[in-house]
Every structure is written in structure tokens, then in C-alpha cells.
Homo-oligomer: A and B are copies of this chain.
Amino acid sequence: MLKRLFFPLLIATFVLSAISHYLHWGPEITFGLSAIAIVFVAGFLGKATEAVAHYAGQRLGGFLNATFGNAAELIISIFLIKEGMFAIVKASLTGAIIGNLLLVLGVSALAGGLKYKEQRFNIHLAGQNASLMMLAVIALFIPAVFVKTENIPETQTMTMSIIVAAFLIFAYLGWLFYSMFTHKDMLEDHVDTQADHGEQPAWSRMRSILYLILATVMVAFVSEWLVHTLDTFTSRFGLSELFVGAFVVAIIGNAAEHSAAVMLAMKNKMGAAVEIAVGSSLQIALFVAPVLVFVSLLFQENMNLIFTTIELAAIGVAVLIATSISRDGATTWYEGKLLLIVYVILGVAFYFV
């Protein structure tokens, strides 16, 4: 019954929130409609990802999902950089990283863990992910420490940021080459290899890829409509821009990854859920953030890679606890709960700034 109503409701809520956004029905109505719409489009994306993962293997499926999810993040950030709103960009990048590592991974581990006692995934991948997350923390932390303790002038800070950004992109491309080609077999989940590759016709695979692209585009649009209504809420509820950027925007912006990861975890495909959550944070830190530094060179004001102390502290502790929990290649419900508690503690701290 609910299954048969899914597509009509998906289309109806999507179209209604589009109309509300473009015909300016007011922020309250647009917020309400697109908040409902995002539940359906995120659900659609989850299903599409799962279908692709079925053919592509858990890792490639997870990677595709992370990439499509972060495309929206990248596009929104470019508009913000054009306006010179660097503080909000950095806050939302921070929010995306900690949201994926703590909220998405936490809910996945908790929801999956309530159903399965222990959920295993590739231990090599967990170790490599941990090292990559540490590289990201180091690359953000080192320039900040040097700039803050040694009074380095702004032009040199920008040069330093550009060089570090170039090396981060270089590291990310190397990681893709490594995980997709030279060491693909070592980093794969062996749990799911009995998947019936190729038993279904080619057009069925094509269709699931098209669905994935369509679902991602829909999520991107609805996310943006929602974000546009936030200004009103920020002023009405007295929330700081930092809090809205790092938590509200990040939660909405990650709805896609969120629902996809949780659905996979509940089907005991924790490897794919981890790939989405951790893969998405890695992509933000090692690819989206440095690309934005280069993008900012096209505009009048340039954005450096220096994050604030509290942003660095938040990213640092998120990486620390996520790494500690996932390093053994397994999660349980309680580990999910721990991640969520750290997320709440960070949320409380950001709220009071």
C-alpha cells in the first residue's frame, strides 16, 4: 500500500515545494513542504543507491553516493564564496564532516546494531580510512597552528593554503587510483560477493544508474529550497550563523547520505554504509574544501584553508572517536550511541557560541 503510494507522493511533494519556492509562497510554507519532500527524495536516493550497489559492489556504490551527495554541497558553497561568505562555507564544511562521521555513521551503527549484534566490514578499509582522515585533520591543523602562533601575513597564508590544497587533491586522486585499481581487492567487502552480478538484463542496470542520477538531482534541488528558508528561521529562533551552518544546513544537506547509509546498515551492508559516511567526509576534506580554495581564486576575494580553533577542535574529536570505533572493522549499537552523544555534545557547544 505504502509502496504503491511512494512514487506519486514523491512527485507531488517535490512539485509542490518547487512551486512554493519559485512563486514565493513564503519561507514557512516552503520550509514545511520541502521538509516533507526531502523525506521522499532521500528515500528514493536510498533505494537507487542500493540498486546500483547491487551491481557495482558496495564500495563503488558507496563512492558514487558520496560523490553525488557532495555535488550539492560543492555547488551551494561556490555561490557562497562568490558572495564572500567564507565563514559560513567553512562552518558548513565542518558541519558536513562531523555530520557524516558522527550523525550518519552513528545512526547507521545504532539502527543496524539494534537488528544485528555485530556488523563487520573490511578491516583494511577501516585502517586506510583512519589514516586518510588523519591526513585531513593534519592538513587543516598544521597551517592553522603556524598562522596562529607565528603571525604569518595574509598573502603568505593564501600561498600556503594553495600549496596544501594542491597536495590534498593529489592525495585524494591517489586514493581513488589506489582503492579502485591497484588495491581494489584488498579493500572490498567479501561478505556480499555472492551478489547475482549480471543475472538481470543490461537495461535494468542502466535504469538504476539513471534513477541514482535523478534522485541526486532532486535531493540537490530540494536541499537548496530548504536552505533558502533558513535565514528567516535563524533570525526568528536567535540561532548563530555558525550553528545554522554547521548543524541545520549540514543535517539537511546530508539527508541523502543519511537515508542511504541507514537503509544499507539495516540490511546488514555496514561496509557500504561506512563507505558513504566516511567516504563523504573524506571527499569534503580532501577534495571539496581544497577545490573551493582554487575556485575562490576566480573571484575578487580569496578563501584560505585556515579554520577557526573550535572548528578544528570539532573536526579533530569527530575523527578521533570515529576512527577509534571503526578501526576494528565492526560496529555495535552502543558504538552508534557513542558517536551520537559526541555529536550532541558538539551541537550543544556550538549552540552556546
Q: Which residues of B contact A132 (CB under 8 A)?
A: 338
- Structural contact, B349 and A160, CB atoms closer than 8 A: yes
* Of A118, A141, A183, A349, most B-chain CB atoms within 10 Å: A349
Q: Is A134 in contact with B352, judged by CB distance below 8 angstroms?
A: no
Is A309 close to B, CB under 8 A?
yes
Among A301-318, those with CB < 8 Å from B are 309-310, 313-314, 317
Name A117's contact: one of B145, B159, B183, B321 (CB within 8 Å). Answer: B183
Given A134-B320, A337-B174 in contact, is the A156-B352 Cβ separation under 8 Å? yes
With A352-B159, A352-B160 known to touch, is A345 a contact of B138 (CB < 8 Å)?
yes
Count this chain's copies in the assembly.
Answer: 3
Q: Is the CB of A332 within 8 A of B178?
A: yes
Residues of B within 8 A of A325 (CB): 131
Q: Which of B135, B186, B332, B349 contacts A341 (CB 8 A)?
A: B135
Q: Which secondary structure dominates chain A's binding surface?
A: helix
Interface flags, A164-179, vs B, CB<8A=1, else 0 = 1001101100110010
A189 contacts B by Cβ under 8 Å = no
Q: Any chain B CB within 8 A of the CB of A344?
A: yes
- Residues from 324 to 353 in A contacting B, C-beta threshold 8 Å: 324-325, 327-328, 332-335, 337-338, 341-342, 344-346, 348-350, 352-353
- Given the complex of chains A and B, what is the CA–CA distance between A317 and B141 in angstroms? 9
In the assembled complex, which residues on chain B have CB atoms less than 8 Å from the CB atom of A7?
Answer: none
Using A334-B174, A335-B131 as known contacts, say yes or no to A313 and B167 having CB atoms under 8 A apart: no
Whole-angstrom CA separation of A349 from B178 in the bound complex? 27
Are the C-beta atoms of A328 and B127 separated by less than 8 Å? yes
Assess whether A338 is in contact with B142, with CB atoms less than 8 Å apart. Answer: no
A152 in the interface, Cβ–Cβ < 8 Å?
yes
Cβ-based interface call for A1 (8 A): no
Residue pairs across A and B with Cβ atoms less than 8 A apart, 6 shown, are: A117-B182, A127-B327, A142-B314, A150-B353, A171-B338, A178-B334
